[in-house]
Amino acid sequence: MEPQVRLRQIIFFFLLVLTVLEHSSSARILSISKPDRHDIAASARWLVSQNSWGVLSTLSIEHEGAPFGNVVSYSDGLPEKGNGIPYFYLTILDPTTRNALKDSRASFAISESPIGTCKRDPMDPTCSKLTLTGKLLQVDEGSKEEEVAKEALFTKHPEMMDWPKEHDFRFFKLEIINIFLINWYGGAKSITVDEYLRYKAIKVASSFL
């Protein structure tokens, strides 16, 4: 086989592999590598920053307060600059939004499985999972935080910019009250909301010591 032909075949195969990786959610290249499992705050923040969707649960006003789970897209900030707070772009036509406006109590669950770093069953303890419990609140219209939420969501989910304006989409956030994290055997890990939210500030400060 001619060397040039062989070279073209190698290049074609390499480009094909890159294309598959680019379009595979289970094999995408991470912008931040998975942290050590003993660093609980880092593990929780990593899960939130690297994921793009999860299950948002509210209390149904149509079913006598029964839990209502809904798959939603979210973002906690720009790539590698997330603040740990999940922001959502929700329409008033969705039961989740109507539920939250009546009773803000909510929880948001995400898994390591969609990221592609866990090759085992999603329920396996080594496949990290996180549930944030708190209040699903609408971000104040015209506020600086609304601009933060908008930039975070539209950067991670560009398609949102083209969603119908007449559907009355609004920016929401989860005000976190409790954190439930499993990232290894031994049950849920202990982490406070303050430890979770202050994680990056602690790391930056320690780098100057």
Could you read off the pLDDT of 159-188 as tens digits, one per residue? 999 999 999 999 999 999 999 999 999 999
Q: Which of 162, 145, 167, 166 is nearest to 87 (CA)?
A: 145
Q: Looking at the structure, do residues 16 and 39 belong to the same domain, yes or no?
A: no
Work out the average pLDDT over 27-38: 70
**Cα 108 to the center of its chain, rounded Å:** 9
Residues in the chain: 209
Q: What's the structural domain count of the chain?
A: 2
Task: Pinpoint the alpha helices (H) of the chain.
Answer: 3-23, 40-50, 95-102, 144-156, 193-197, 199-206
Which domain CATH number covers 116?
2.30.110.10
Work out the average pLDDT over 114-119: 93
pLDDT of residue 3: 53
User: Which residues, listed in sequence order, are joined to residue 115 by a DSSP beta bridge?
Assistant: none
User: Which residues, listed in sequence order, are joined to residue 171 by a DSSP beta bridge?
Assistant: 89
pTM: 0.82
Work out the average pLDDT over 21-39: 61
More confident residue, 80 or 193: 193
Give the domain range for residue 18.
Answer: 1-30
More confident residue, 17 or 70: 70
Q: Looking at the structure, do residues 19 and 43 belong to the same domain, yes or no?
A: no
Where on the phi/psi map is residue 75: left (φ > 0), alpha (ψ -120 to 50), or beta? beta
Q: Looking at the structure, do residues 18 and 39 belong to the same domain, yes or no?
A: no
